[in-house]
């Protein structure tokens, strides 16, 4: 782990102490600097869950990723900085209230004076660590969060009153998530193969690029525009997310040619 390079990717100076204030700052900066994106799935790139591969993608190539990648590498950084950080599996709640499969999501638990939930890989979620032992609602720039006891010692995490996921208490190594990461990136039933997204929070809300649709939320007001050329889409990836793509990802249901996969890179 080249900690200096990772911190530079986040725009963060070397922290003095592995405390809660530093953890909060690191989480905020990670969310702002490293987008939540599933472009690899639609670029035909393999998802490799090793620290070396993730460091090469997220830090060296300045890309983003989805939960297993983002939280997997961020947990390694936190450990390198002196935190007691571990990965934990979660099942994501579907819109109908049922639970997704085991290891559907990977999140981080950091043990300080008490346990804190840290998640930089769930899209729109808390920007700050959440107290896992808290019984009251916890306010955050992206909503109000509540952590409730669930069966078998698990924990349910709610955002604005809606269940988001059920978190396991037991820690897991990154390798435990390899089979589900493969399923998520290859199955026609996976949400990630059905959609194309790149998203990150901003100081005033959030910005998302979904195929050719650029969506910005500013102070609670949603603005959406359809980008009408491949050049405009490439420029949006670069300006809003810092991604200098050599080719565009193929949206679900389109061929590589229609998505501009063979088009030249913008200078």
Give the model's pLDDT for residue 261. Answer: 36
Q: Is 131 left (phi over 0), alpha (psi -120 to 50) or beta?
A: beta
pLDDT number for residue 262: 31
Q: Which of 221, 205, 199, 173 is nearest to 68 (CA)?
A: 173
Give CA–CA dist 17/167, Å, rounded: 28
Report pLDDT for 236.
96
Residue 152 to residue 134: CA distance in whole angstroms: 18
The two three-digit tokens of residue 185, written as one number: 């990136």
User: What's the pTM?
Assistant: 0.91
How much is the pLDDT for 260? 41
Chain centre to alpha carbon of residue 219 = 22
Q: Are 251 and 197 in contact (CB under 8 A)?
A: no
> Could you give the C-alpha distances from 100 to 88, 89, 105, 182, in angstroms and in order?
15, 12, 9, 16
Sheet holding 205-210, edge to edge: 36-37, 198-201, 205-210, 213-218, 221-226
The set of residues, in sequence order, having a beta carbon less than 8 Å from that of 265 and lying 6+ positions away, is 234, 244, 245, 246, 247
For residue 12, count CB atoms less than 10 angstroms from its CB and return exposed for 0-12, middle for 13-18, buried for 19 or more: middle
Q: What angle do CA 64, 67, 69 make, to 5 degrees?
A: 55
Structure-token pair, residue 232: 């405009």
62 and 54 Cβ atoms separated by less than 8 Å: no
The DSSP line for the chain is --HHHHHHHHT-PPPS--SHHHHHHHHHHHHHHS-EE-HHHHHT-----SHHHHHIIIIIS---B-HHHHHHHHHHHHHHTT-EEEEEEEEEBPTTS-B--TTSEEEEEEESSSEEEE-SSSSS--SS-EETT--S-EEETTEEEEEEE-GGG-EEEEETTEEEEEEEEEEE-GGGGHHHHHHHHH-TTSHHHH---EEEE-SSEEEEEETTEEEEEETTEEEEEE--SHHHHHHHHHHHH----SS----TTS-TTTTTTTSPPP-
Which mean pLDDT values do the consecutive 10-residue runs of the chain (267 residues) have?
94 88 96 96 93 97 96 97 97 94 96 96 94 91 94 96 96 97 93 93 93 92 93 95 91 56 30
Q: How much is the pLDDT for 254?
A: 65
What's residue 74's pLDDT?
98
pLDDT of residue 196: 94
Please state the separation of Cα 34 from the chain's center in Å.
Answer: 8
């Amino acid at each position: 782990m080249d900690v200096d390079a990772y911190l530079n990717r986040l725009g963060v100076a070397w922290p003095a102490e592995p405390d809660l204030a530093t953890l909060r700052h690191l989480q905020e900066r990670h969310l702002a600097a490293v987008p939540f994106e599933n472009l690899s799935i639609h670029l035909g790139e393999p998802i490799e869950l090793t620290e070396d591969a993730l460091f090469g993608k997220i830090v060296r190539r300045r890309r983003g990723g989805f939960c297993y990648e983002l939280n997997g590498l961020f947990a390694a950084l936190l450990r390198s900085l002196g935190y007691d950080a571990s990965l934990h599996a979660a099942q994501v709640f579907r819109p109908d209230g049922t639970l997704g499969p085991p290891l559907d999501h990977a999140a981080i638990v950091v043990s300080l004076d008490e346990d804190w939930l840290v998640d930089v890989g769930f899209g729109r979620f808390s920007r700050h660590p959440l107290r896992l032992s808290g019984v009251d609602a916890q306010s955050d720039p992206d909503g109000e969060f509540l952590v409730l006891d669930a069966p078998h010692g698990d924990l349910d995490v709610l955002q604005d009153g809606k269940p988001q996921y059920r978190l396991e208490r037991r820690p897991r190594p990154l390798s435990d998530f390899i089979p589900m990461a493969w399923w998520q990136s290859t199955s026609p039933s996976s949400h990630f193969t059905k959609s194309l997204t790149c998203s990150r929070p901003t100081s005033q809300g959030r910005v998302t690029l979904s195929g050719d649709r650029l969506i910005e939320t500013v102070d609670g007001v949603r603005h959406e525009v359809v980008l009408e050329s491949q050049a405009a889409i490439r420029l949006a990836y670069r300006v809003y997310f810092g991604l200098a793509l050599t080719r565009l990802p193929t949206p679900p249901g389109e061929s590589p040619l229609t998505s501009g996969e063979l088009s030249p890179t913008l200078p």
